[in-house]
Amino acid sequence: GDSVTQMEGPVTLSEEAFLTINCTYTATGYPSLFWYVQYPGEGLQLLLKATKADDKGSNKGFEATYRKETTSFHLEKGSVQVSDSAVYFCALSGAGYSTLTFGKGTMLLVSP
């Protein structure tokens, strides 16, 4: 079945550092890929998405590129802020389906 593997956290960075959170997936066909973010005490929010190979999703300074050849969708940000501290989830939606399969989440902690 479909699955998502993302790097374990916590990832601890200083403000303005470069961020990479790795995500790889296993799925049949051509899934859509997503990054969700969960701030403390809040529900999950869609951060960005990509629906086909080589698409780049971007939002709030975060980017991720759908790499079919490496089955990856790594999240990057050039300069993190303290307000980016949250748990980040990589997810996929299989071809023809509307349901989401999530990774385990990666906690990001950014210090001033």
Partner 1 sequence: EAGVAQSPRYKIIEKRQSVAFWCNPISGHATLYWYQQILGQGPKLLIQFQNNGVVDDSQLPKDRFSAERLKGVDSTLKIQPAKLEDSAVYLCASSLRGRDTFYEQYFGPGTRLTVT
Would you tell me which residues interact with partner 1 (CB under 8 A)? 4, 32, 41-46, 51, 89, 91, 93, 96-100, 102-105
Q: Closer to partner 1 by CB, 46 or 53: give it.
A: 46
Residue 59 DSSP code: E
What is the Cα Rg of the chain in Å? 13
Q: At closest approach, how far in Å is the CB of 93 from partner 1? A: 5
Q: Closer to partner 1 by CB, 49 or 77: give it.
A: 49
Peptide bond into 40 cis (omega under 30): no
Q: Closer to partner 1 by CB, 56 or 104: give it.
A: 104
DSSP string computed for 62-101:
EEEE-BTTTTB--EEESS--GGG-EEEEEEEE-TT----E
Q: At closest approach, how far in Å is the CB of 14 from partner 1? A: 25
Q: At closest approach, how far in Å is the CB of 41 from partner 1? A: 7
Residues 51 and 40: their CA atoms lie apart, in Å, by: 28
Q: Closer to partner 1 by CB, 17 or 71: give it.
A: 71
Residues 16 and 50: their CA atoms lie apart, in Å, by: 26
Q: At closest approach, how far in Å is the CB of 3 from partner 1? A: 10
